[in-house]
């Protein structure tokens, strides 16, 4: 139903024209129906840029050219909607062009044609088109016209001919990134048996592609399609490659770039390629489309985006030759928005802006008991003690939450926990006993950096430029794992810039604009690193070798000078360590990657999900869910001198961080927009420490001082000794990726928590909390249960919960018989109680 | 009797944190939400789907003393063993494999296996890839066959792990498998002989007390599951259910309990003992029987480590000791699978990390020889009764039809209905990897 009855009443005075306007033509059923809103205006949008004067119309050159019209409707509530398939197209004079019902134009004859677009409510729009050169037969350019066909049809994908080993003896470059190679494979290889210029339609290439002869990939094109015709014509022309001066694609633009849409709505996209000679070409049906969330949006080969039933944000990546761009759709949830929301700082302002656009309602602020525990876990990796909890809950200071954040940041727990985090990112791995000194020194240095709140740019610089002996510069240890140029490029780019450069090592990055040249330009920063044996076995000294930094691109075999990502060549005098220049470039205020990467990483740490996901995969085709917030956080971070504690404080004091994790009626499906806190399970170390704290029995780690917490462990070697830690996914520090830490569940974990000897021992330990409490004659059962609750949940039980446990303990008391004493039974009761509390989800999760 | 309490269900806006859980509704589960759904789709209660049993022979058996005695070679290469005829004309194997000889029509021998990385490690046999010793696996490491199956197919039934590793811990660390990989701990195998075995029998509590604990937990652990949008809480609930099942009585435990089998059948397999042989694995033929039970219960991949094969000295003395139990166990397994009609669905592979030197050394042993090695295949609907490939006169290298390690992997995946060249898994950097590097299934058997 397009118009509800209430809408009709509301818009009294507007003339409603039924959709069957044009006699003799079929009824147009709108499939875009913004709720009850009226169409006010229709605009034809095309994105050819060579028209400065709209009156002159757009120009199409040649019979190969195409044009995708976009007809956009402006609704009376100000929203835009796609009407491309809801209008009738007419061209005058007839016969010069063909426009299909999707607004896609194919030119036939030269001339100027007027296009009239008729929509609902009697609305119209017009434009002009100037068709030229339809009789000219142009020499086909292989790179611009033929290679994209293989990408579009999937021939050169990594699943088929595009993989390194090709498919069934035929190889193409991945996604068409190397047209020269493709030309070799197609035209020259195999004595040219794949193409027959004398009988083009009989070429093996075409017979296979059309499925006329058996083809593992099936039939990819129809025998009578324009694509087949183009390929055939190219073969007929003698397979020209193209001349050196031929224009190349420099950019692609999509229209629209962003749209607010409703569930199940559709949007046609139009894509234009811009060439080195300034010419433009509509490539809407030549590009490859890929949605980044298939459940949320599907996109057809013709660029029609169709939304599913999920609200949120979705991006569609568009790829053409070596260029990429992205279309973003925002789909509101349709919930009523709160009128008055608490705003503590700019984070809340910007999150609320998105919540409003997405029509999401936010959950309530969390209560104090939840906050004291949540902040403690997120900042220090441990649970608060009952004393801390009690003091906090009874404190009436309106600023107590802010003060709690500050005290957590100033506690040793903060340095421990964040050293643990960065230890894994910086691959602090114990491989042999000889590596132990380096492991301990690196961990210690990292921890010290957080203790003294070293600014992040300095922290990064000290790591990247680390030189000398491990004893004096512990960060040199990092280069032990990050050994060769490959590792250095990949880790630095991923950790500090959020760019996954590794794909570009062997070919152009499939999802980004980075080329192999960019990869080796970045690698050049590490080309002057020398190593020699250090003062102890198994250690190395890193030093700078003077010289002009450059890395050899294996494809061109030429050296590439040092470039930052997206910059020109950076001039580095031969006696300066190029890594210093790299660190300086990263820390520049206008560096688009460095600050954004860190704030995204920390945002994910606290809020459970990065503004970009995965957190270290920031690219055009993976846009942030809240670009303004990401920019604002980055700017705030830079303006405050890359102060990490300040960043954490800013995040934790925000209302966004302090929302309850409980969904309300409307926001349980939200997982991107922070309308509530997203609960996360305690990580391996934190969980083990929590169990130790709650049971009051510490785990002993071999070779470490007694009482050491799992988050304080200096490297990954303890994973092999501790079944618990490896079982719950503590990373082996094998990669720079925080996703190496796995947070999946499995059967073995459940068995372990329910029934392991370790749990049994901690719970039944005579000096452990359960037994000590059980034996304590000075407290009542209720007081004991309350204390356990405080340790485990940082809150008090309500009456129902109290009853459950008090009943249970009584039940155990009543079950004493000849074999067990009353006191034994009481101990059993408390052990079982503590066991149950530890196995409950509220304990196992940070919520 | 213990009464179960819980808060009343108040559907107000974020006021009450507590609701009742529906016990039993959470009975179906998986690891992450997608696998939860996958397991529900896959649920073939009690039926075995297609599966693989992989027997790793740590140390690398001598190819020239197992399946292709080099009768034309001089005695310092040929050694002491003689060939015997099998029930397939034209194929002859070592005299110490008489039971296998009688069922050669059900076996496939690969006599010229190539591609060994030359590491004394189970890595390549388990993953099909080169390990850190010789190559650069992606961070986290390559996943083993069972882990891959766990990832792409998920469990056949929520209560039965997809990948079970029966092996005990070997003294030589590199023989051990069940490694973590870039697929994460969720896909590491269930290892009854590992640390988990301590968790699988009741510790310090009786069955009754466990039942009391369970009821207590259920009566108050009503923390709202919708707090967690990822489905992890629900997944954990279902694993809890399964854990209780394991501790009380379960499909899985029953499958692991070899005592439930007919003693005569156990004798046919040869029983064996759990005592490790040197620094390698025990000759524990009961494990082959358990492997059969596990695939019947729905496990997709069972791995076993068997015996000690690194005979640098006294090759033939060792051979007489270690080959016959292998002969007995494997032949019993293959016959058993055929008798139960499982031969089409269950593939068996038995191999080690490399072959051994043609020239017998002065200790009477053979050393490492990665240039060529051997493998035994069975079941999986493959065309059996074949010996594929052969080595040259001295057993140094393939004479015809070299078969790459990854061809075997490709074949095994194929037997499970997976095209290894079209299926991919993503590593920690989100980079997709195909399951094999362009190797096709062995055409002679598929």
Which string of DSSP letters, residue by residue, matches A60-93? Answer: EESTT--EE-EEEEEETTS-EEE-TTSSEEEEES
**Mean pLDDT within B273-278:** 92
| Contact in structure between B380 and B412 (CB atoms under 8 Å) | yes
Angle A318-A321-A327 (CA atoms, 0-180°, nearest 5)? 15
Tell me the residue length of chain A: 847
Tens-place pLDDT, residues B409-438: 999 999 999 999 889 999 887 888 999 998
- Which of the four pLDDT bands, split at 50, 70 and 90, describes residue A20? very low
pLDDT digits (tens, 9 = 90+) for A530-586: 999 988 888 899 999 999 999 999 888 999 999 999 888 999 998 999 999 999 999
- Residue A42 bridge partners (DSSP): A73
Is A681 in Cβ contact with B434 (below 8 Å)? no
pLDDT of residue B21: 24
In chain A, the percentage of residues whose pLDDT exceeds 90 is: 60
How does the average pLDDT of chain A come out, rounded? 88
Which pLDDT score is estimated for A1?
A: 39
Residue A629, phi then psi, degrees to nearest 5: -65, -40
Mean pLDDT of A483-491: 91
Residue A311's pLDDT band, with cuts at 50, 70 and 90, is confident
Asked if pLDDT for residue A291 goes beyond 70, the answer is yes
Nearest CA-CA distance, residue A730 and chain B, Å: 9
Using the predicted structure, report yes or no on whether residue A654 has a pLDDT greater than 70: yes
Q: Is the pLDDT of residue B28 over 70?
A: no
Are B147 and B190 spatial neighbours (Cβ–Cβ below 8 Å)? Answer: no
Residues of B in contact with A734 (CB under 8 A): 139-141
Using an 8 Å CB-CB cutoff, list chain A residues near B14: 363-364, 660, 662-664
How close B318 gets to chain A, by Cα (Å)?
33
**Contact call for B236 and A745, based on CB within 8 A:** yes
pLDDT at residue A629, as a whole number: 97
Residue B121 has pLDDT above 80, yes or no: yes
The percent of residues in chain A predicted with pLDDT above 70, rounded, is 94
How many A/B residue pairs have CB atoms within 8 Å?
202
Residue B202 to residue A665, Cβ atoms within 8 A: no
> Which long-range contacts does A801-807 make (Cβ < 8 Å, 24+ apart)?
A801/B18, A801/B220, A803/B5, A804/B5, A804/B216, A804/B219, A804/B220, A805/A833, A805/B220, A806/A781, A806/A782, A807/B2, A807/B3, A807/B5
Residue B425, classed as helix, strand or coil, is strand
CA distance A310 to chain B (A): 14
For A635, other C-beta atoms within 10 Å of its C-beta total 15
Is there a contact between A764 and B204 if contact means CB atoms under 8 Å apart? yes
Query: Collapsing DSSP states into helix, strand and coil, what is residue A248?
Result: coil
Please report residues of A whose CB lies closer than 8 A to that of B221: 836, 839-842
Q: How far is A45 from chain B (nearest CA, A)?
A: 37
A121 or A520, greater pLDDT: A520
The encoded tokens of residue B211 equal 């039942």
User: How much is the pTM?
Assistant: 0.84
| pLDDT tens digits, one per residue of B130-141 | 998 888 888 889
Rounded to whole angstroms, the Cα distance separating A665 from A688 reads 35
Judge whether residue B24 has pLDDT over 60. Answer: no
Q: Nearest C-alpha of chain B: how many angstroms from A56?
A: 48
User: What is the model's pLDDT at position A223?
Assistant: 86
Cis check for the bond before A93: say yes or no (omega within 30 of 0).
yes
The string of DSSP codes covering B229-259 is TTSHHHHHHHHHHHHHHHHH--HHHHHH-GG
The 3 state secondary structure assigned to B206-237 is CHHHHHHHHHHHHHHCCECHHHCCCCHHHHHH
CB B114 within 8 A of CB B403: yes
Distance from CA of A748 to the nearest CA of B (A): 7
Shortest Cα–Cα distance, B158 to chain A (Å): 10
Instruction: Kindly identify which residue of chain B lies nearest to residue A842, measuring between CA atoms.
Output: B223
Task: Output the pLDDT for position B51.
Answer: 96
Q: What angle do CA A33, A34, A40 make, to 5 degrees?
A: 95
Q: B222 Cβ partners below 8 Å, 6+ apart?
A: B6, B7, B18, B19, B20, B21
Average pLDDT over residues A297-323: 92
Q: Is the pLDDT score of B225 beyond 50? A: yes
Are the CB atoms for A678 and A661 separated by under 8 Å?
A: yes
Q: Dihedral of the CA atoms B335, B341, B344, B349 (nearest 10)?
A: -30
Q: Which residues contact B224 (CB under 8 A, 6 or more apart)?
A: A662, B17, B18, B19
Highest mean pLDDT among A500-504, A666-670, B381-385: B381-385
List the Cα angle A432/A433/A434 in 5-degree steps: 90
pLDDT reported for residue B428: 83
Q: Report, as an integer, the average pLDDT of A817-821.
A: 81
C-alpha B38: how far from chain center: 21
How many CB atoms neighbour CB A224 within 10 A? 8
pLDDT of residue A27: 37
Contacts of B200 in chain A (CB under 8 A): 751, 755
Residues in chain A closer than 8 A to B202 (CB atoms): 755
- Tell me if A163 and B7 make a contact (CB, 8 A cut-off): no
The whole-number pLDDT of residue A758 equals 94
pLDDT score of B247 more than 60: yes
The pLDDT mean for chain B works out to 86
- Closest partner CB to A750 (pick from B188, B219, B242): B242
B186 contacts A746? CB cut-off 8 A: yes
What is the pLDDT at residue A57? 61
A4 pLDDT band, cuts 50/70/90, is very low
**DSSP character for B108?**
E
Contact A832 B213 (CB under 8 A): yes
Highest mean pLDDT among B184-193, B212-221, B232-241: B212-221
Q: How far lies A804's CA from each of A316, A798, B18, B215, in Å?
A: 52, 10, 14, 11
> Where is pLDDT greater, at B108 or B221?
B108
pLDDT of B14 > 60? The answer is no
Q: Does residue B17 have a pLDDT over 60?
A: no
Q: Which of A188-197, A304-313, A466-475, A740-749 has the lowest mean pLDDT?
A: A740-749
Nearest to B32 among A732, A744, A749 (CB): A744
Q: Do B228 and A828 touch (CB under 8 A)?
A: no
For residues A539 and B320, give the distance between their C-alpha atoms in angstroms, rounded to a whole number: 47
Number of Cβ within a 10 Å radius of residue A233: 14
Distance of CA B259 to the CA centre of its chain: 21
Q: Averaged over A665-684, what is the pLDDT? A: 90
Q: What is the DSSP string of A513-547?
A: S--HHHHHHHHGGGTTEEEEE-SSTT-EEEEEPPS
Does the beta-carbon distance from A745 to B190 stay under 8 Å?
Answer: no
Which residue is closest to A161 within chain B, CA to CA? Answer: B438
Are A456 and A646 contacting, i.e. CB atoms less than 8 angstroms apart? no
Rounded distance, CA B367 to CA A690, Å? 51
Interface predicted TM-score of the whole assembly (ipTM), two decimals:
0.80
Query: Are residues B432 and A158, on separate chains, in Cβ contact within 8 Å?
Result: yes
Q: Hey, CA dihedral for A772, A776, A781, A783, is it positive or negative? A: negative
HEC string of A703-732 equals: CCCCCCCHHHCCCCCHHHHCHHHHHCCCCC
Q: What is the pLDDT of residues A404-413, one digit of tens each?
A: 999 999 999 9
Greater model confidence, A23 or B291:
B291
Beta bridge partners of A569: A563
Question: At which residue do the structure tokens 């394991």 appear?
Answer: B246
**Has residue A29 got a pLDDT over 80?**
no
Nearest-Cα residue of chain B relative to residue A799: B7
State the average pLDDT over residues A381-385: 97
Residues of B in Cβ contact (< 8 Å) with A290: none
- What distances in angstroms separate CA A159 from CA A309, B417, B432, one per listed residue? 30, 18, 10
pLDDT tens track for B48-80: 579 999 999 999 999 999 999 999 999 899 999
Give dist(CA A621, CA A327) in Å, integer.
Answer: 9
Confidence of residue B337 (pLDDT cuts 50, 70, 90): very high
Q: Which residues in chain A are closer than 8 Å to B182, comparing Cβ atoms? A: 740
- pLDDT, tens only, A41-97: 888 876 544 444 445 567 888 888 899 999 999 888 888 999 999 899 999 998 889
Pick from B199, B229, B236: CB nearest A755: B199
Of B225, B246, B428, the CB nearest to A740: B428
pLDDT of residue B92: 96
User: Which candidate from A660, A748, A828 shows the least CB-CB separation from B14?
Assistant: A660
Cβ contacts of B219 on chain A, cutoff 8 Å: 804
Torsion of CA A514, A519, A522, A526, to 10 degrees: 160
Q: Which range has highest mean pLDDT (A480-484, A730-734, B286-290)?
A: B286-290
Tokens read off for A66 = 């195409």
Of the candidates B6, B185, B422, the beta carbon closest to that of A729 is on: B185
Q: What is the mean pLDDT of residues A315-338?
A: 89
> Using CA atoms, how far apart are residues B97 and B92, in angstroms rounded to an integer?
10
Instruction: Please check the confidence at residue B9 and state whether its pLDDT lies above 50.
Output: no
Name beta bridge partners: B369: B355
Q: Judge contact between A697 and A759, C-beta under 8 A.
A: no
Name the residue with higher pLDDT: A510 or A251: A251
CA B24 to chain A, closest CA, distance in angstroms equals: 17
Give the confidence band of A745 by pLDDT, cuts at 50, 70, 90.
confident
Selection from B58, B67, B171, B63 nearest residue B119 by Cα: B58
Residue labelled with tokens 């005990």:
B168
Q: What value does the CA radius of gyration of chain B take, rounded to a whole number of Å?
A: 24
Max CA distance (Å), chain B: 88
Q: Which residues of chain B does A804 touch, with a Cβ-Cβ cutoff of 8 Å? A: 5, 216, 219-220
What distance in Å separates residue A613's CA from the closest CA in chain B? Answer: 11
pLDDT tens column, A411-434: 999 999 999 999 999 999 998 888
């Amino acid at each position: 139903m397009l118009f509800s009855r209430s809408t009709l009443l509301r818009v009294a005075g507007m003339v409603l024209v039924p959709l069957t306007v044009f006699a003799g033509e079929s009824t147009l059923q709108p499939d875009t129906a913004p709720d009850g809103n009226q169409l006010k205006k229709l605009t034809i949008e095309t994105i050819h840029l060579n028209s400065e004067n709209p009156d002159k119309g757009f120009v199409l050159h040649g019979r190969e050219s195409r044009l995708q019209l976009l007809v956009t409707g402006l609704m009376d509530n100000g929203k835009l909607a796609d009407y491309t398939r809801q209008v009738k197209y007419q061209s005058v004079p007839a016969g010069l062009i063909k426009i299909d019902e999707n607004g896609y134009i194919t030119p036939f004859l030269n001339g100027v044609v007027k296009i009239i677009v008729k929509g609902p409510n009697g609305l119209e729009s017009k434009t002009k088109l100037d068709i030229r050169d339809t009789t000219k037969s142009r020499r086909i350019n292989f790179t611009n016209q033929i290679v994209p066909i293989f990408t579009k049809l999937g021939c050169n994908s990594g699943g088929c001919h595009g993989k390194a080993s090709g498919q069934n003896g035929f190889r193409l470059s991945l996604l068409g990134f190397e047209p020269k190679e493709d030309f070799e494979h197609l035209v020259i290889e195999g004595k040219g048996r794949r193409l027959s210029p004398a009988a083009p339609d009989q070429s093996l290439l075409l017979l296979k592609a059309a499925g006329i002869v058996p083809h593992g990939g099936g039939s990819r094109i129809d025998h009578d399609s324009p694509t087949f015709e183009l390929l055939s014509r190219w073969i007929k022309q003698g397979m020209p490659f193209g001349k050196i001066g031929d224009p190349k694609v420099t950019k692609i633009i999509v229209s629209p770039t962003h749209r607010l849409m409703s569930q199940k709505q559709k949007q046609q996209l139009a894509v234009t390629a811009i060439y080195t000679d300034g010419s433009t070409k509509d490539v809407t049906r030549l590009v490859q489309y890929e949605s980044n969330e298939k459940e949320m949006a599907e996109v057809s080969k013709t660029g029609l985006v169709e939304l599913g039933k999920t609200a949120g944000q979705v991006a569609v990546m568009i790829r053409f030759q070596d260029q990429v761009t992205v279309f973003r759709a925002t789909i509101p949830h349709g919930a009523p928005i709160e009128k008055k929301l608490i705003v503590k700082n700019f984070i809340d302002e910007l999150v609320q802006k998105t919540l409003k656009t997405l029509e999401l309602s936010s959950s309530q602020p969390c209560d104090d008991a939840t906050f004291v525990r949540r902040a403690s876990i997120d900042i220090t990796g441990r649970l608060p003690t009952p004393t801390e909890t009690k003091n906090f809950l009874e404190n009436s200071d309106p600023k107590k939450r802010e003060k709690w954040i500050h005290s957590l940041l100033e506690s040793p727990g903060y340095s421990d926990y964040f050293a643990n985090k960065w230890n894994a990112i910086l691959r602090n791995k114990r491989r042999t006993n000889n590596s132990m000194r380096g492991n301990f020194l690196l961990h210690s240095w990292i921890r010290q950096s957080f203790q003294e709140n070293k600014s992040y740019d300095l922290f990064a610089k000290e790591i990247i430029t680390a030189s000398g002996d491990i004893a004096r510069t512990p960060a040199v240890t990092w280069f032990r794992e990050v050994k060769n140029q490959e590792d250095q490029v990949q880790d630095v780019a991923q950790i500090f810039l959020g760019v996954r450069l590794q794909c570009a090592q062997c070919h152009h990055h499939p999802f980004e604009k980075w080329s192999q040249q960019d990869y080796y330009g970045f690698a050049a920063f590490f080309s002057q690193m020398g190593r020699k044996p250090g003062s102890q076995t198994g250690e190395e000294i890193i030093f700078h070798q003077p010289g002009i930094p450059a890395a050899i691109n294996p494809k061109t075999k030429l050296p590439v000078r040092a470039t930052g990502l997206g910059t020109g060549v950076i001039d580095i005098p031969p006696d300066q360590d190029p890594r210093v220049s790299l660190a300086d470039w990263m820390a520049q205020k206008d560096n688009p990657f460095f600050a954004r990467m860190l704030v995204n990483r920390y945002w994910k740490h606290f809020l459970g999900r990065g503004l970009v996901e995965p957190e270290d995969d920031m690219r055009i085709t993976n846009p942030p869910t809240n670009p303004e917030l990401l920019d604002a956080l980055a700017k705030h971070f830079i303006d405050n001198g890359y102060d990490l504690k300040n960043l954490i404080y800013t995040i934790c004091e925000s209302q966004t961080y302090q929302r309850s994790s409980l969904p309300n009626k409307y926001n349980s499906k939200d997982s991107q927009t922070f309308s509530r806190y997203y609960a996360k399970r305690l990580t391996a170390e934190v969980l083990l420490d929590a169990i130790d704290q709650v049971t009051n029995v510490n785990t002993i780690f071999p070779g470490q001082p007694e009482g050491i917490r799992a988050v304080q462990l200096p490297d990954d070697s303890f994973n092999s000794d501790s079944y618990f830690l490896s079982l719950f996914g503590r990373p082996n520090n094998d990669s720079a990726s925080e996703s190496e830490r796995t947070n999946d569940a499995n059967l073995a974990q459940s068995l372990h928590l329910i029934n392991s000897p370790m749990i049994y021992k901690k719970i039944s330990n005579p000096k452990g909390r359960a037994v000590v409490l059980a034996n304590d004659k000075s407290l009542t059962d209720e007081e004991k249960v309350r204390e356990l609750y405080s340790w485990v949940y940082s809150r008090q039980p309500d009456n129902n919960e109290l009853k459950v446990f008090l009943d249970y303990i009584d039940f155990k008391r009543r079950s004493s018989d000849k074999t067990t004493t009353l006191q034994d039974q009481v101990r059993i009761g408390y052990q079982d109680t503590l066991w149950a509390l530890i196995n409950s989800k509220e304990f196992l999760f940070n919520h | 009797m213990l009464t179960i309490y819980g808060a009343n269900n108040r559907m107000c806006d974020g006021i009450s944190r507590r609701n009742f859980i529906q016990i039993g509704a959470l009975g179906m589960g998986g690891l992450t939400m997608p696998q939860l759904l996958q397991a529900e789709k896959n649920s073939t209660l009690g039926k075995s789907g297609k599966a693989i049993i992989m027997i790793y022979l740590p140390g690398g058996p001598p190819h020239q003393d197992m399946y292709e005695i080099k009768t034309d070679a001089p005695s310092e290469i040929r050694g002491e063993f003689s060939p015997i005829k099998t029930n397939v004309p034209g194929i002859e194997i070592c005299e110490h494999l008489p039971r296998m000889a009688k069922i050669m029509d059900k076996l496939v021998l690969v006599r010229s296996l190539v591609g060994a990385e030359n590491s004394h490690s189970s890595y390549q046999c388990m993953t099909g890839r080169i390990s850190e010793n010789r190559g650069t696996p992606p961070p986290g490491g390559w996943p083993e066959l069972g882990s891959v199956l766990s990832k792409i197919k998920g469990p056949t039934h929520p209560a039965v792990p997809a990948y079970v590793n029966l092996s005990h811990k070997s003294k030589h660390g590199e023989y051990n498998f069940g490694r973590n990989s870039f697929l994460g701990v969720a896909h590491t195998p269930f290892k009854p002989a590992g640390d988990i075995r301590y968790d699988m029998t009741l510790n310090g509590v009786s069955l009754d007390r466990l039942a009391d604990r369970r009821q207590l937990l259920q009566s108050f652990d009503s923390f709202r599951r919708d707090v967690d949008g990822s489905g992890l809480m629900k997944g954990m609930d279902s694993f809890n259910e399964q854990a209780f099942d394991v501790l009380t009585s379960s499909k899985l435990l029953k499958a692991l309990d070899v005592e439930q089998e007919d003693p005569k059948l156990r004798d046919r397999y040869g029983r064996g003992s759990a005592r490790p042989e040197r620094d390698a694995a025990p000759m524990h033929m009961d494990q082959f029987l358990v492997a059969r039970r596990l695939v019947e219960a729905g496990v997709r991949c069972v791995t076993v480590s068997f015996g000690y094969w690194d005979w640098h000295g006294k090759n033939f003395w060792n051979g007489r000791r270690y080959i016959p139990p292998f002969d007995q166990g494997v032949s019993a397994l293959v016959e058993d699978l055929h008798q139960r009609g499982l031969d089409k669905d269950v593939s068996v592979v038995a191999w080690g990390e490399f072959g051994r030197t043609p020239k017998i050394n002065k200790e009477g042993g053979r050393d490492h020889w990665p240039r060529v090695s051997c493998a035994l295949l069975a079941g999986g609907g493959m065309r059996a009764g074949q010996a594929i490939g052969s080595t040259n006169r001295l057993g140094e290298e393939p004479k015809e039809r070299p078969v790459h390690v990854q061809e075997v992997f490709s074949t095994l995946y194929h037997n499970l209905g997976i095209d290894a060249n079209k299926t991919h898994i993503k590593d920690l950097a989100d980079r997709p990897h195909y399951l094999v590097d362009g190797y096709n299934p062995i055409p002679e058997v598929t």
